[in-house]
Amino acid sequence: MRLDQEKIEIGMIRQFVESEGKKILEIGCGDGRLTAVLAEGASECIAIDPDDSSIAGARSAIGGVDFRVGSGEALNFEDESFDLTLFTMSLHHHADCARALREAHRTLKKDGTLVILEPAADGELQRVYHLFTDETLGIQRALDAINGSDFTLERQATFHKNWVFEDKEELYDYHFKNYSSTDYDAGIVDSMNRLLGKKIHDRPVILQDKLTIFSMRRKP
């Protein structure tokens, strides 16, 4: 599987915010795929994720970043610690999105910037993922929290990036390996085939991931 070879995602982040010389906190870093690029030129970069194995993998693969196990709902940092905080596809995973945003507000400097990347519930890739775990309500909670937060929205945009699978077998393997506790489920495979229609037989199978990026300013 090849993800975002065109580097559209990091390109959008770069359009929305400048990280050079800034102290950065990334919330929900996963394996550090974006962290490594975000950290370039930063004065300091701390990245957290609740998954122990993801943090262990990121630590072993990426230097120059302080990777820690942690949650956005309880940030273990002093008030006004960061110039830039990012939620990278992670806000909707928090049980209390509003609390996570309050923590981000507390730990940002008064002129700090918050960048949030969130999936769109109606995106092609997300609709496939929903066959395993439906995140529609979580995504809506995140959007509601953003709209009700103590941040001023400065800019917002929707964009797409591509996930490229060699064929339908790789598509099945990837999703069942990463998102299912069982072997192939014939019902889910059938639903996936119906959802993607003729595209399921393409070589490669290219799925679009629809994302929204928000740039927000901390209110005094």
Across residues 79-108, what is the average pLDDT?
Answer: 97
Q: What is the pLDDT of residue 183?
A: 81
Q: Which domain holds residue 57?
A: 2-120+133-162+210-218
Residue 128 lies in a domain: no
Nearest-Å Rg of the Cα atoms of the chain is 18
- Side chain identity at residue 58, one-letter code: A
**pLDDT for res 161:** 97
Residue 170 lies in a domain: no
Residue 154 has pLDDT above 90, yes or no: yes
Which pTM was predicted? 0.95
Residue 61: predicted pLDDT: 94
69 in any annotated domain: yes
For residue 204, cis peptide bond before it (omega within 30 degrees of 0) = yes
Total count of domains within the chain: 1
| 219 pLDDT above the threshold of 90 | no
* Domain presence at residue 28: yes
Burial class (CB in 10 A: 0-12, 13-18, 19+), 210: middle
**Considering the chain, what is the average pLDDT of its residues?**
95
Q: What is the pLDDT of residue 135?
A: 96
Give the pLDDT band (50/70/90) at residue 180.
confident
Q: What CATH number did the domain enclosing 44 receive?
A: 3.40.50.150
Is 72 a member of any domain? Answer: yes
Give the pLDDT score at 94. 97
Give the list of residues 6+ apart from residue 13 with CB closer than 8 angstroms, or none: 34, 38, 86, 115, 117, 213
Return the minimum-mean-pLDDT range out of 12-21, 45-54, 176-185, 190-199: 176-185
The answer to whether position 109 is within a domain reads yes
157/94 Cα distance (integer angstroms): 22
Tokens of 63: 């230097």
- Tell me the torsion sign for CA atoms 193, 197, 202, 207: negative
Any domain includes 192 = no
In-domain check, residue 126: no
